Amino acid sequence: MTTIEAMLRRAIEASGPDLILTLDPVFQGLPDAAHGGSVLAVFDALAGVAGAREVSGVYRRRVPLGAPLTIARTRADTTETFVLADGTGILVDGRVAPASAAPPHPRAPDRDGAQPLPISRACFACGTDNALGLRAELGFDEDAVRATWRPRDGFRRADGSLAPAALTALLDEAAFWLGALETGESGMTTELRVTLHGTAPFGSPVVVRGARAAVQARAGDQRYWDTDVEARIDGAVVATARITFVAVRGAARRLVAGMLAINDPARVQRVFPAYTR
């Protein structure tokens, strides 16, 4: 059986002082681009930190799939930095560093009757036809974007724990929808800071939640929206994230066209009313 961990490691090869990354289309996010959470998972796999750590990435441009990209890697003390680039410039600046364990804090109660968010065919997080993807179904109400995802065997690591790619992708996906609901626009997540609070157990459902009230626009530039998202397993916090969504006016037009082919129009219209008639 092919696992996500094996797919990520297969995507990386050595080439002189640098590494070459060629991401399989299974890791798609928006059309023709890698899912932000999958790129973070690459940095995390390369760093190999077992305990609590912060995995971050500043995305300059979308990361293409199926194309060889270079990763320059440096280490200073306990921090590893990565520069992912193509032949024309930097795509992502990445960083992995030790972090503190998750502080205990209560989870806000969820309401009944969440509205389902749109799904796609190929997305690593929500794609119905992506055989190796999460196939997660997210929903929202006036309080939060949330999902309860049940892991499949492809997300079990060799040591029996949950693949971190599942957490980074789920948190990134929730942040995207928080931003889209706030703005009515599509776009991309540009600054991802995910704290993985140790090794996550495999088997129990992962509950992801991002409060809509916590979504805040950047002062002076309301294209950028900061979000806070968390993931829990059996009530314990296993990952938290601070992720920035940038709205790109008009970008939803292409995204909506694909979504309408497999979603009820009302589901799409609730998020992108200006692009769904």
Phi, psi of 10 (to 5 degrees): -65, -25
pLDDT band at 104 (very low <50, low <70, confident <90, very high): low
| pLDDT the model gives residue 102 | 63
| pLDDT the model gives residue 105 | 63
- Mean of pLDDT values over 184-193: 97
How many other CB atoms sit within 10 Å of the CB of residue 64?
A: 15
| pLDDT the model gives residue 214 | 96
- Mean of pLDDT values over 156-181: 97
Confidence check: pLDDT of 250 > 70: yes
Answer whether 232's CB lies under 8 Å from 238's CB: yes
Confidence check: pLDDT of 15 > 90: no
What residues have CB less than 8 Å from 230, skipping those under 6 apart?
A: 107, 171, 208, 209, 210, 237, 239, 240, 241
Domain range annotation of the chain: 4-275
Helix (H, G, I), strand (E, B) or coil at 120: strand
Q: What angle do CA 103, 105, 106 make, to 5 degrees?
A: 160
- Mean of pLDDT values over 124-130: 97
pLDDT, tens digit (0-9, with 9 covering 90-100), for 29-45? 999 999 999 999 999 99
Domain spanning 4-275: CATH 2.40.160.210: yes
pLDDT, tens digit (0-9, with 9 covering 90-100), for 136-159? 999 999 999 999 999 999 999 999
Confidence check: pLDDT of 103 > 70: no
Return the residue matching tokens 């970008």.
Answer: 251
Answer whether 124's CB lies under 8 Å from 171's CB: no
| pLDDT the model gives residue 222 | 87
| pLDDT the model gives residue 1 | 78
Mean pLDDT, the chain, rounded, equals: 94
Confidence check: pLDDT of 108 > 70: no
| pLDDT the model gives residue 18 | 83
What residues have CB less than 8 Å from 248, skipping those under 6 apart?
A: 185, 186, 187, 188, 223
- Mean of pLDDT values over 167-177: 98
pLDDT band at 109 (very low <50, low <70, confident <90, very high): low
Confidence check: pLDDT of 71 > 70: yes
| pLDDT the model gives residue 113 | 76
Confidence check: pLDDT of 112 > 80: no
